[in-house]
Structure 1
Amino acid sequence: MGMSERDEVIYKAIDEILWKDWDPIGINENENIRDEYQGYTPHVFTLKIQGADVHKIAQHLYKLETIDMGMTGDKELVLNHCKTIAQKIIEL
């Protein structure tokens, strides 16, 4: 069974947000590697449709960025950025 039209729109919007707005490794100017974050989209989509709150989505993005990708930086700034991205996803 496939996704509803609405879910497809949300899924594509999440993919776009991860690419354009989240972009933790700063590569979104290179369309040749557009698929870089697409492996993260399914889980973020699942969180969204299951009704996860901003905190839960932000924590997931933060974990991806810091643990999975090994990015470092000011924890507060990174977390705030993840919360901003999570809010965009919640509002879809």
Structure 2
Amino acid sequence: MGSKLPQDQLELYKRIDEILFYKWDPIGISNGDWARDEYQSYLPRVFKMAIENGSAKEIANYLTKISTEYMGLSEAKEHDLAVAKLILEVKNSVGLS
């Protein structure tokens, strides 16, 4: 992201990055740091969706689209929805509503 974020948004951005790598992890690489940046290209869009009050379903649909259309994986809609809900829980926990 090119501009400076307020502290609460920066915290959310970092936490979403961690969630995508450690919890979403559709290709199963989170057991090593060698590919730590693998999902970071999706981070700005997921962050924007969360900040702009996207629903868990909207965020989950985006995650599913990435994993199926761009990565060629099978759908994991329930997992993607659980991850999206976690993202929104973290958003609330850092004081953003």
Q: Secondary structure at the match of 2:69?
A: helix
What is the CA deviation profile of residues 15-67 of structure 1, one whole-angstrom value per residue up to 9, with x for unaligned ones?
Answer: 00000000000011120110000111100000000000011000000000100
Alpha-carbon separation, structure 2, partners of 1:10 and 1:84:
17
- In the alignment, the residues of structure 2 paired with residue 49 and residue 18 of structure 1 have an alpha-carbon distance, to the nearest angstrom, of 16
Provide TM-score, normalisation by structure 2: 0.88
Q: Distance in 2 between matches of 1:15 and 1:2?
A: 17
Residue matched to 2:34: 32
Q: Where in structure 1 do 4 or more consecutive aligned residues deviate above 2 Å?
A: none
Give the root-mean-square deviation of aligned CA atoms: 0.8
Query: 5+ residue gaps in structure 2?
Result: 91-97
Aligned-pair CA distance for 1:2: 1.2
**Unpaired runs of 5+ in structure 1?**
none
Map 1:1-92 onto structure 2 (within 5 A).
1-72=3-74, 75=75, 78-92=76-90
